[in-house]
Structure 1
Amino acid sequence: MIKLPKLWTKNEDGAVAIEFALVAAPFFITIIGILEFCLFFATGMALEGAAHDAARVIRTGEAQKSGDPLTVFQERLCSTISVIVDCDGVSYEVIEIPEDSFYSVADYEPQFDEDGNLVSQGFAPGGVESTVLVRLAYRYNFMTPLIGHILDSGPVENVYTHMATVVLRNEPYAFE
């Protein structure tokens, strides 16, 4: 093989390190953003599942028959959602719809304070064959500011409020 004089050859020592330094920051931000999106959507799905599971104890009358329906509801909610979400951060309201119609549910829009927290309208699980609205809210704090600005949903930066709503009619259970 013919050897070229050193003057005519390029010195490429450290080129890979410099190229990696240029690409590393955007690469890691993208990876962290993807992981945070996964956690964000998993949080929303966990909240939906917890809403359905906690609403079930109201629908079947298990909460009403217990003597302390609020505690039964909270225990079911926290046992379902505590894997991925801090239960203390979940706000909820359970409203008995006075009319015997699902159409009037639209009149019960969620109310928020100036910080974007859900203002609960109380806990009223209703009785036999009552129409009940169960609403959960959780404020998700983004770690990556770029994603937080894209999905910003309130007065606080990098915070998105997940909402889960279940409207149901209680079963014709019997008090024992």
Structure 2
Amino acid sequence: MLVRRWLKRDEGSAAVEFAIIAPVFFLLVFAIFETSLFYFKRHSLRYLVFEVSRELQTGHIQKAGDPETLFKETVCEKSSFLFDCDDIFVDVRAFNRLSDATFPPITFDGDGEPSNFTFDPGRQEQIMIVRAVTNFSFITPMIKSIFQPDGENVIITGASITKNEAFGCTGEC
């Protein structure tokens, strides 16, 4: 008799149902948030590459006394609040013809930094290829198991191909 009355009571059932559903709900909310952050960072990196490529295309970087330093400063200046400047690695290569343009596969050193990136801003009317990479690590277990099954960081990339304008000679023409 006492057990029957206890089984018929429904006070607290909402709390029990919430306790069952809440972990799944919060996992989905965090997964949506984290995936959105990943795609936003990817888009922001691609926009950053577009912006710094424009600085190269116009010859602004090449005309500086120290082009590599100015380029790094420009990358830092134009990067959004999502990026730490030291975590963005940029590969800049110049080619005379588009058919000559190649990118070797990215190789990483022991610290997880690209070891084969170069900085060659090119001369006027050369083809410029700019590639940037940064690392991203997921926190949500479900998303991490999908995107990072080996435990390594996900590499976000952005690239741009432009032709330098006729901005005049810098050094040798």
Query: Does TM, scored on the shorter chain, surpass 0.5?
Result: yes
Q: Any unmatched runs of 5+ in structure 2?
A: none
**Counterpart residue number, 2:104:** 109
- 1:164 paired with 2:158, answer yes
Aligned position for 1:125: 121
The correspondence of residues 23-62 of structure 1 with structure 2, limited to 5 A, is: 23-62=21-60
Q: 2:93 aligns with which of 92, 95, 100?
A: 95
Q: Distance in 2 between matches of 1:63 and 1:15?
A: 66
- Distance in 1, Cα, partners of 2:18 & 2:126: 63
Q: Please tell me the residue identity of whatever aligns with 1:30.
A: L
Structure 1 residue 158: Cα displacement: 5.3
- 8 Å CA contact retained: 2:90, 2:131: yes
- Letter in structure 1 aligned against 2:60: E
How many residue pairs are counted as aligned between the two chains?
166
In structure 2, do the counterparts of structure 1 residues 132 and 9 end up closer, same or farther at CA, with 3 Å as the change threshold? closer
Q: Distance in 1 between matches of 2:37 and 2:154?
A: 13
RMSD: 2.2
- Whether the aligned pair in 2 keeps the contact of 1:148 and 1:160 (CA below 8 Å) is no
Counterpart residue number, 2:137 = 141
Report the TM-score, using the length of structure 2 for normalisation. Answer: 0.86
Gaps of 5+ in 1: 1-5
Partners of 1:51 and 1:89 in 2: CA distance? 14
5 Å-filtered alignment, 1:3-18, equals: 7=5, 10-18=8-16
Aligned to 2:81: 83
SS in 2 for 1:136: strand
Letter in 2 for 1:81: S
Higher RCO (C-alpha 8 Å, min separation 6):
2
- Aligned partner of residue 95 in structure 1, secondary structure: strand
Moved over 6 A (4+): none
Q: When the two structures are superposed, what TM-score results if normalisation uses the length of structure 1? A: 0.85
